Structure 1
Amino acid sequence: MSASKAIAAPAPASVAGRPARANTLIAVLAAAGTAMSLMQTLMVPLIPKLPTLLHTSSSNAFWAITATLLVGAIANPLFGRLGDLFGKRRLLLVALGTQTVGALICALSSSILPMVVGRGLQGVGFATIPLGVSILRDLLPPKRMVSAMAVMSSSLGVGGALGLPIGAVVAQNADWHVLFWGSAGIGLLLGVLVAVLVPESPVRGVGGFDVPGTVLLSIGLVGVLLAVSKGGDWGWGSPATLGLLAGGVVVLLAWGAFELRVDSPLIDLRTMGRRPVLLTNIASVALGFGMYAQSLIAPQLMQLPKATGYGLGQSLLGTGLWMAPAGLAMMIVSPFAGRLIAVRGPRVALAGGAVVVAGGYVLALPLMGSPGGVLAFCAVISAGVGLAYAAMPTLIMRSVPAEEGAAANGLNTLMRSIGTSVASAVLGTLMSSMTTTIGSTVVPSENGLRIGLLVGGGAALASCLIALALPRRTADAAPAPAVPAVPTPAVPAVPARPAVATPAAAMPAPRGPFEPAAERRVAERVATVPATD
């Protein structure tokens, strides 16, 4: 494989002419991440009503949810690579614009086909988070970068927590199309803010865009994720589930073999195979599983009827309002996460966050008998997720070349999504096999819920163990070996020439505050990135 190095594109006029302040940059990108993650849970209150609202069957209505998951999974690494090649801000605007178009299609729809198309386009918006993290890495000085990426990562939890109560309020008090009109308005506003306040990153990758690799990865991911997400409904031994799963795995293996032979791969698997990157991604799968367990179990526990003896009898709106503060814990913990990473390193933050998540599941067992108790253990779990998620971009970014940053972050985000999909399948199967009957309704049993919580805690502990296997970062602490001084022959002095005044027009234009940091980071990466064969 040919060697690749980061190159700095000339800074656009918007950077030099309208430099954005660091706080403004962080706020705009974090708002974009929050809004796009909100889209994942905004439709949850509508799920029971979707067949009626869209005039279709229950089996067809699920595509309005699954389409977003599938497209989002593909968009993360795809837009990451495109951002590395053609500009991260440019692709961020494309992602926001595509999400806005998808929201408009949904707002104007009352049938299943356009709704699936619109929800699929909304899934492209998920790529804003890895793109935003990479922009922060490229533009901010090192002392601000870690805390900024922690805030950006926490936007995942904040958006997801706010989506449920907002969706419930709108679904109960207004026409359901209002959800999508609001989504379109938010997308348009964010697009304007990004265009005006976020400068383009000067870091660029080299090479072309890998179209065959994109096609193979997309087919493989769709097969695997569709089989995992629908295996419980179709039956894990059904021909459809087994065929999609086996076919997806075969295609992904073929994609991996192809990527190792192409000069400009969609994802450089040699780089992704480095121990820090590989272990971080595996830990992301386990932590994604651990995070989703409480997102799946806690709402069911809150809404189960009190007649069960363990259900809390809350309405959908009440459930959303009780759980929203727990999601905000990710935002509250993000400044502490940044300081912990700066002092002890991202490896400690990832392992510590996973331990906190596991501790939250232990607390869940005695606290699950009241809404306040559910809020408490969910807040602990969310705080741990915030710590761990803040560490992952730092671990990835310090281990990959700058020109592969967005693609690497997109892959890491995909790994988290795979973890949540696997959790949905495993825990859904577990709780459907451990049920009790209340009247004519079959609901998960108390033992099923408790075992599900323990499984989530076990996944978090697995993530901790994987994090502890990450190598300690000793390169920064170890001083460079001393180089013995070599006598240099004397060089005759050269008479100095008289100074020549430089015309004002020839002086370099003032640069924006982000440019020196970005250029320095490019220079460091160029000096340290090894050539690959």
Structure 2
Amino acid sequence: MGGSTSTARPGGIVSVMAVAGIVASLTQTLVVPLIGELPRLLHSTASDASWVITATLLAGAVATPVTGRLGDLYGKRRMMLVCTAPLIAGSAICSLAGSLAPMIVGRGLQGMGMGLIPLGISALRDLLPPDRLGPSIALMSSSMGIGGALGLPVSAAVAEYASWRALFWGSAALSVLIAVLIRVLVPPTPPLPRAGAAGGAGRLDVPGALGLGAGLVCLLLGVSKGADWGWTGGATLGLLGAAALVLPAWAWWELRAAEPLVDLRVTARRQVLLTNLASILVGFSMYAQALIVMQILQLPAATGYGLGQSMLAAGLWMAPSGLVMMAVSPLGARLSAARGPKVTLIAGSLVMALGYGSSTGLLGSAWGMLVVTCVCSLGVGLAYGAMPALIMGAVPRSETAAANSFNTLMRSIGTTVSAAVVGVILSQLTIRLGAHTLPSEAGFRTGMLVGCGAALAAAAVTMALPGRRGGRTSGDESAASVSPARR
């Protein structure tokens, strides 16, 4: 059961999956160089234009668990092909947009394509021989960070030297290419009978999907827009209050549903629960340094700590971090094979903390920022590669895609909370430069310390994970011990 009986070459499968993940994550950073220009381009206010980013976040958070469950029900390769459709359509709509509304619709559709990454990770378990599984999962999982890091300089260059619409036409073309490659080079992954489903693949828990979607929209919208609306404002408190009611009600339903969207009994198992908690903390830590370093690179040198780089130059300074993440994924896989993914996740978290710690003496130069981002990305690459291995080592094969999608959602929650927390810190610790209010050096250093604390907390949580059993790290053996009897 370790791999597919297909004659397809494993190297080709892994390459397609990795490129698919990079393209999916790259679409999320396409608009970063355009943030300052969006109000003018879309004839809107800066506050309204921020929905271009928020829509992608919300759509991805809601769609990812659903596409993961559908992947378990109807085949992961089939759902990967389905996920390319909103990527293509969303990119085309954005490229033609002349106002805010179609741009938001297009960006929402692009967000729905993020399910490609957890589906791809889960499909590898079905398609590859055991000896290729660890390195391949690590590379595919790291594609989230690789695409984001490489997307910044590429999109900045295109936005600066060509039409901004070319960004989205390029994204559409890449998405079409990915769909073709998946169709041609990735073998079908038949649905696996869900435990307890009487030999059938089961069905989608529609009330569970709607409940989780509503709860996530309330939670993430309240967290991501709280700074704009005011943390004590009626809209923010109302959304967060609704989330506090809807999500427990959703959990109550899932525990009683015959075929739940997310099997909370499996999710509550120690290994899965702690890995998901660590994922939130790692996601928080990863995003904090990206937000802070990009701002430091671009702030005017007149501040005394800003480095006065253009968007393109700042993106180029950060691009090597994506290459580091890609290069470290095989190392992480070897460490996981030798010592177990728990050790790899601990190591990754501690390396991230080291990167943050190094920032105390490196904030004054672009080269220093390069070192900080590369060290942090080295840690992220190790951590991201270990998470799917830990998840798949504790869930049945029939729930692989759903469990990985839920883990991806936990990372997204971590990045959303990180953006909110760092935003609050930088808005409270400011300086005046002429007519402008800018984040202060103390604000940036405080944000880096918070990121360091999150990385150390991730390491502490991971230490509480169960140890290796009998030296095995493959998910299949551990998954076999998961009892199918949930009711």
TM-score of the superposed pair, with normalisation by structure 2:
0.96
Matching residue's letter, 1:327: G
Secondary structure of the corresponding residue to residue 200 of structure 1 = coil
Secondary structure of the corresponding residue to residue 442 of structure 1 = strand
Instruction: Pick from 271, 282, 294 the counterpart of residue 299 of structure 1.
Output: 294
| Residue 73 (structure 1) shift | 0.7
Please show how residues 379-418 of structure 1 align to structure 2 within 5 Å: 379-418=374-413
| Residue 296 (structure 1) shift | 0.5
Residue number in structure 2 paired with 1:55: 43
Instruction: Pick from 105, 120, 132 the counterpart of residue 132 of structure 1.
Output: 120
Matching residue's letter, 1:452: G
Secondary structure of the corresponding residue to residue 48 of structure 1 = coil
| Residue 202 (structure 1) shift | 3.3
Q: State the alpha-carbon separation in 1 of the partners of residues 46 and 482 from structure 2.
A: 54
> What CA deviation, in whole Å up to 9, does each residue of 1:74-103 have, x standing for no partner?
111110000000010000000012110111
8 Å CA contact 1:157, 1:328 repeated in 2: no
Secondary structure of the corresponding residue to residue 292 of structure 2 = helix
Residue number in structure 1 paired with 2:197: none
Is residue 186 from structure 1 mapped to residue 181 from structure 2 by the alignment?
no
Secondary structure of the corresponding residue to residue 436 of structure 1 = strand
Q: State the alpha-carbon separation in 2 of the partners of residues 298 and 527 from structure 1.
A: 44
8 Å CA contact 2:393, 2:479 repeated in 1: no
Runs of 4+ deviating beyond 6 Å: none
Matching residue's letter, 2:255: L
Please show how residues 45-444 of structure 1 align to structure 2 within 5 Å: 45-204=33-192, 205=194, 206-444=201-439
Matching residue's letter, 2:223: V
Please show how residues 1-40 of structure 1 align to structure 2 within 5 Å: 19-40=7-28
| Residue 376 (structure 1) shift | 0.6
| Residue 391 (structure 1) shift | 0.3
Q: 1:154 to 1:525 in 2, by over 3 A?
A: closer
Q: State the alpha-carbon separation in 1 of the partners of residues 321 and 103 from structure 2.
A: 31
8 Å CA contact 1:223, 1:244 repeated in 2: yes
Matching residue's letter, 2:485: A
| Residue 138 (structure 1) shift | 1.3
Matching residue's letter, 1:531: A
Q: State the alpha-carbon separation in 2 of the partners of residues 240 and 24 from structure 1.
A: 49
Q: 1:66 to 1:528 in 2, by over 3 A?
A: closer
Q: State the alpha-carbon separation in 1 of the partners of residues 264 and 14 from structure 2.
A: 30
Higher relative contact order by CA 8 Å / sep ≥ 6: 1 or 2? 1
Secondary structure of the corresponding residue to residue 399 of structure 1 = coil
8 Å CA contact 2:394, 2:482 repeated in 1: no
| Residue 368 (structure 1) shift | 1.1
Q: State the alpha-carbon separation in 1 of the partners of residues 478 and 188 from structure 2.
A: 19
8 Å CA contact 2:393, 2:478 repeated in 1: no
Secondary structure of the corresponding residue to residue 437 of structure 1 = strand
Aligned length: 479
| Residue 431 (structure 1) shift | 0.9
Matching residue's letter, 2:157: V
Q: State the alpha-carbon separation in 1 of the partners of residues 15 and 395 from structure 2.
A: 26
| Residue 475 (structure 1) shift | 5.0
8 Å CA contact 1:138, 1:202 repeated in 2: no
Matching residue's letter, 2:385: A
8 Å CA contact 2:342, 2:390 repeated in 1: yes
Matching residue's letter, 1:157: G
> What CA deviation, in whole Å up to 9, does each residue of 1:484-505 have, x standing for no partner?
xxxxxxxxxxxxxxxxxxxxxx
| Residue 59 (structure 1) shift | 2.2
Gaps of 5+ in 2: 195-200
> What CA deviation, in whole Å up to 9, does each residue of 1:349-384 have, x standing for no partner?
001100000000010110111101100111000000
Secondary structure of the corresponding residue to residue 364 of structure 2 = coil
- What is the Cα-based RMSD across aligned positions, in Å? 1.9
8 Å CA contact 2:340, 2:471 repeated in 1: no
Q: State the alpha-carbon separation in 2 of the partners of residues 527 and 324 from structure 1.
A: 42
Secondary structure of the corresponding residue to residue 185 of structure 1 = helix
8 Å CA contact 1:203, 1:402 repeated in 2: no
Q: State the alpha-carbon separation in 2 of the partners of residues 528 and 376 from structure 1.
A: 43
Matching residue's letter, 1:163: G
> What CA deviation, in whole Å up to 9, does each residue of 1:455-476 have, x standing for no partner?
0000000000000000112255
| Residue 158 (structure 1) shift | 1.1
Q: State the alpha-carbon separation in 2 of the partners of residues 189 and 470 from structure 1.
A: 40
Q: State the alpha-carbon separation in 2 of the partners of residues 272 and 457 from structure 1.
A: 27
Which 10-residue stretch deviates more, 197-206 or 154-163?
A: 197-206
Q: 1:525 to 1:413 in 2, by over 3 A?
A: closer
Gaps of 5+ in 1: 1-5, 478-516
Of structures 1 and 2, the larger Rg is shown by: 1
Residue number in structure 2 paired with 1:531: 485
| Residue 524 (structure 1) shift | 8.9
| Residue 529 (structure 1) shift | 3.9
The percent identity for this pair of structures is: 55
Matching residue's letter, 2:170: G
> What CA deviation, in whole Å up to 9, does each residue of 1:239-268 have, x standing for no partner?
000000110121111100000001000000
Instruction: Pick from 464, 470, 480 the counterpart of residue 469 of structure 1.
Output: 464
Which 10-residue stretch deviates more, 350-359 or 94-103?
A: 94-103
Q: State the alpha-carbon separation in 2 of the partners of residues 182 and 461 from structure 1.
A: 39
